[in-house]
Amino acid sequence: QKEVEQNSGPLSVPEGAIASLNCTYSDRGSQSFFWYRQYSGKSPELIMFIYSNGDKEDGRFTAQLNKASQYVSLLIRDSQPSDSATYLCAVNRGNFGNEKLTFGTGTRLTIIP
Amino acid sequence: GAVVSQHPSWVICKSGTSVKIECRSLDFQATTMFWYRQFPKQSLMLMATSNEGSKATYEQGVEKDKFLINHASLTLSTLTVTSAHPEDSSFYICSATSMGFYGYTFGSGTRLTVV
């Protein structure tokens, strides 16, 4: 079992709809979780992080964490063509504030105008 | 804040030569820097972790004599690909973090092509 698993996609979502990206992890002791966006040919950029069970909202993005089920998700509301990218889930293997991140393989998201 | 600069952004070199890639944290002191390699349509693969003043810790399968990492200061780490071969062609990305930071800040990446 991979440490961090994501559906590679591609995931196609109509413009204006909600895009839902999922990630599962194997290490039950993981403390914090991160979502990065990577445009083709570019390096990843941090979207948001979450460490408590439940939802965390930041603008159009909502991260959801369920430690009991070992999954973390990212919702993108009102999807825009500029959201088309690969989304990487990362799980912290170290202590919070001193992360050692393990990345999933990423989900490629395409927003259809 | 939290800007990481990586140079060069792209480089083409001949097989058998060496290439050095620099990674600098511009507005913070990075306690730890990481080097990743990414092949097309694949995820980030961690190559090594380096702490200032210490030897880098390499991931399994990464040749430490081929990929030389130096982290001489809290703001600079370098990756030297020695005796490069075409199979070393890839996108190399550094990232940096510090105590109290949330997540990593990535450099802009270096696309290496070995011909």
| Inter-chain residue contact A46 with B105, CB threshold 8 Å | yes
* Spatial contact of B66 and B80, defined as CB atoms under 8 Å apart: no
CA B71 to mean position of chain CA atoms: 10
Confidence of residue B27 (pLDDT cuts 50, 70, 90): confident
* Spatial contact of A6 and A73, defined as CB atoms under 8 Å apart: no
| Inter-chain residue contact B108 with A106, CB threshold 8 Å | no
- What does the pLDDT read at residue A8? 83
Token match 């839902």: residue?
A20
The pLDDT of residue B71 is above 60: yes
Give the burial class of B110: count Cβ atoms within 10 A of its Cβ; 0-12 exposed, 13-18 middle, 19 or more buried: buried
- What does the pLDDT read at residue A98? 56
3-state DSSP percent of chain A in helix, strand and coil, to 5: 5, 55, 40
| Residues whose CB is less than 8 angstroms from the CB of residue A33 and which lie 6 or more positions away in sequence, other chains included | A23, A25, A49, A50, A51, A63, A65, A72, A89, A90, A91, A92
The pLDDT of residue A96 is above 90: no
Rounded CA separation A88/A109 (Å): 11
| Inter-chain residue contact A97 with B108, CB threshold 8 Å | no
- Which positions in chain A have a beta carbon within 8 angstroms of at least one beta carbon in chain B? 32, 34, 36, 41-46, 49, 88, 90, 97-101, 103-106
* pLDDT, averaged across chain B: 91
Count CA atoms closer than 13 A to B14's CA, side-chain side.
1
Taking the Cβ of residue B111 and every Cβ of chain A, the question of whether any pair is shorter than 8 Å is answered with yes
The pLDDT of residue A99 is above 70: no
pLDDT tens for each residue of A77-93? 999 999 999 999 999 87
CA B2 to mean position of chain CA atoms: 17
